[in-house]
Amino acid sequence: MLFTLKKIAGLLIRLFNTNVPANYKYFYRDTYVCIMLQCKYVVRDFILKKKYKVIDYKGEFGAELQFSLPFAYWHFKNGTLKETKSFPGTRELYFFSEHHQEDHEVRTNEGNYNFELPRILYSQNYNMKKWLSVPLKEIYKNDIYKFDKPILVIANRYNTEWDGAPVSFFDIDTLNELIVKLKAKYTIIYNRPMGKDIVNDNSLILDLNEFDWLRQTHPEVLLIQDLHEKNEIGAKNFNHFQLCIYANADHFISLHGGTGTLASYFGGKNILLSAEGPEHYFNCYKKLYPKFSGAEVYHAKNYAEVINYANLYL
């Protein structure tokens, strides 16, 4: 069936999307396939409305936040969610799921291609009907992580990308400029998850050598690993702890992928660095990311734009 739908989608592209660059056509095709597959659930979703839907996700963290989690929440609110399956540390994301299993071990790119979701990866059409924003901020806001100054989360990563060297990350010079500029106004919490903190995907986490530098040069900056070690809120895992910190913040500086997606789930303002990627062509940072919580997302393509947005909006 999937093969046939891809053939039909390919025909639709030849008829209606002739000007699409060749390297993006398969994203268009995948969108058509997702839309067509959802048609077979019309009766169960809108007439019978019994608990039947099992959402089994095996892909990367960013795509899970973008498509699997809001799809599951829609089914929960619709009364049709039966069960969810994902990775360790995701139970708190799917807090609404009556039956959630954490069976999977390694996130893979192949796992992103779950055509049972309303969309996968990048799309020309983000007007998804079976998709609801998940109120993570409302659920995990707390009185534990409050400070004299408002929280600013700087969410970084330093991983291989597209089987090559890191592309979008905050280097030490940029971190220093941001911290010097913003530390008087904000309590800055720095977050770069390490391999022991999260379920890894097909990228390698590299060493930026910034943790000791931060402790020595900017001791006023709080490292999320240090806060997690104390775990005053009793979080069950690192992902749960991130939710508790992020829920008390309204200001974020983040990166493309799961880092920026999670930061966009908590409202406020998110300056998001993405140097390259299909997100640019599909205008994801304007069409999709604000949907997660109504956050104001400012897409920066380089360090200079990050600093400029920080001057304007933080």
Q: Are residues 22 and 82 in the same domain?
A: yes
- Give residue 181's pLDDT: 97
Token pair in block for residue 280: 């640019």
Strand order in the sheet with 81-85: 53-56, 81-85, 100-101
Q: What are 62-107's pLDDT values in tens digits? A: 999 999 999 999 999 999 999 999 999 999 999 999 999 999 998 9
The residue ranges of the chain whose pLDDT is under 70 are: 201-202
Q: Are residues 126 and 161 in the same domain?
A: no
Q: Are residues 122 and 195 in the same domain?
A: no
Q: Are residues 213 and 250 in the same domain?
A: yes
- Give residue 290's pLDDT: 98
- Give residue 97's pLDDT: 98
Q: Are residues 195 and 296 in the same domain?
A: yes
Q: Are residues 124 and 155 in the same domain?
A: no
Q: Are residues 77 and 149 in the same domain?
A: no
Token pair in block for residue 74: 């829609």
User: Could you tell me the sign of the dihedral formed by the alpha carbons of 140, 145, 150, 151, in that order?
Assistant: negative
**305 contacts 313 by C-beta, under 8 angstroms:** no
Token pair in block for residue 38: 């959802």
Q: Give 91's contacts (C-beta < 8 A, 6+ positions apart).
A: 100, 102, 236, 240
- Give residue 291's pLDDT: 97
Domain tally for the chain?
2
Helix (H) or strand (E) holding 189: strand 187-191
- Give residue 154's pLDDT: 98
Helix (H) or strand (E) holding 119: none
Q: Are residues 222 and 174 in the same domain?
A: yes
Of the three residues 104, 134, 164, the one that is the final residue of a domain is 134
Q: Are residues 230 and 295 in the same domain?
A: yes
- Give residue 57's pLDDT: 97
**97 contacts 80 by C-beta, under 8 angstroms:** no
DSSP SS3 for 155: strand
Q: Are residues 62 and 179 in the same domain?
A: no
Q: Are residues 83 and 191 in the same domain?
A: no
Range of the domain at 101: 2-134
Q: Are residues 160 and 309 in the same domain?
A: yes
Which CATH number belongs to the domain containing residue 194 in this structure?
Answer: 3.40.50
CB-CB neighbours of 202 under 10 Å: 14
Of the three residues 116, 134, 152, the one that is the final residue of a domain is 134
Of the three residues 111, 134, 157, the one that is the final residue of a domain is 134
